[in-house]
């Protein structure tokens, strides 16, 4: 009888069977991972939003800003109290601050021409800005003519006030230009506004 050594394989426990099964499952997942990643959607520099969506959002924002401006203009023109208050603020004869500036400038004119030029020039600049805003809102020829003349008189007031600072300009030009500009601007305020169109 020959001696034969039979090699017996050790039996695997349930824990070892689970470990083997887990390793096999991990191998399958790793092998199948590449195709899954290839199917992922690519996210560019713009993110998940498309170009059309971003453009639509920009258009919507511009439309909202335009609507807000139209609402503000509608409130301003449809409310008679706000409209009248704004128009009286833009005039020279109904605005107390402008009258005070003109009065103080004319009062100081005989004592110090340098100090007198400051309030007169400031008032002319503010009145010119108000007349320019009113000119832009006009829709008829009469309103445009009124505020165009207003801008000319505002320029005359400002130029004459600055001319008082220069000794080279003779008084026979400075004083009539200032007085004429003031009288013309006051007369313009008494021309009634016909541009009252509700939007």
Helices (H) and strands (E) in the chain, counts: 7, 0
d(CA 156, CA 163) in angstroms, rounded, equals 10
**pLDDT digits over 50-98, tens only?**
667 788 888 888 888 988 888 877 766 666 677 777 888 888 888 889 9
Give percent above pLDDT 70 in the chain: 69
**pLDDT digits over 131-173, tens only?**
999 999 888 898 899 999 999 999 999 999 999 888 888 888 8
Q: What are phi and psi of 124, to 5 degrees?
A: -65, -40
In sequence order, what are the residues at sequence separation of 6 or more whose Cβ sits closer than 8 angstroms to the Cβ of residue 184? 149, 152, 153, 156
Mean pLDDT of the chain: 78
Q: What are phi and psi of 46, to 5 degrees?
A: -85, 0
Domains in the chain: boundaries: 75-189
The yes-or-no verdict on residue 17 having pLDDT over 60 is no
- For residue 11, CA distances in Å to 5, 8, 16, 19, 76 come to 18, 9, 10, 14, 94
What the block records as the tokens of 177 is 């230009």
Residue pair 156/102 in contact (Cβ under 8 Å)? The answer is no
What the block records as the tokens of 7 is 């090699």
The yes-or-no verdict on residue 36 having pLDDT over 70 is no
Lowest mean pLDDT among 68-82, 96-110, 182-196: 68-82
Q: Indicate the SS3 state at residue 44.
A: strand
In sequence order, what are the residues at sequence separation of 6 or more whose Cβ sits closer than 8 angstroms to the Cβ of residue 185? 92, 127, 150, 153, 154, 157
**What is Dmax (Cα atoms) for the chain?**
152
């Amino acid at each position: 009888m020959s001696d034969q050594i039979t090699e017996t394989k050790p039996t695997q426990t349930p824990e070892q069977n689970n470990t083997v099964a887990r390793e096999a499952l991990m191998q399958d997942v790793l092998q199948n991972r590449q195709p899954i990643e290839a199917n992922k959607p690519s996210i560019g520099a713009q993110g998940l939003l498309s170009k059309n969506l971003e453009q639509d959002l920009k258009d919507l924002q511009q439309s909202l800003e335009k609507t807000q401006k139209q609402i503000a203009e509608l409130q301003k023109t449809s409310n008679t109290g706000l409209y009248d208050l704004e128009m009286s603020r833009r005039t020279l004869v109904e605005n107390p601050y402008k009258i005070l500036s003109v009065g103080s400038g004319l009062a100081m004119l005989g004592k110090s021409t340098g100090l007198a030029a400051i309030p007169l020039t400031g008032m002319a600049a503010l009145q010119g800005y108000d007349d320019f805003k009113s000119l832009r809102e006009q829709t008829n020829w009469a309103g445009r003519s009124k505020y165009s003349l207003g801008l000319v008189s505002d320029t005359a007031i400002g130029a004459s006030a600055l001319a008082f600072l220069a000794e080279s300009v003779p008084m026979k030009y400075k004083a009539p230009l200032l007085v004429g500009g003031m009288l013309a601007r006051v007369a313009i305020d008494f021309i009634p506004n016909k541009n009252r169109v509700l939007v």
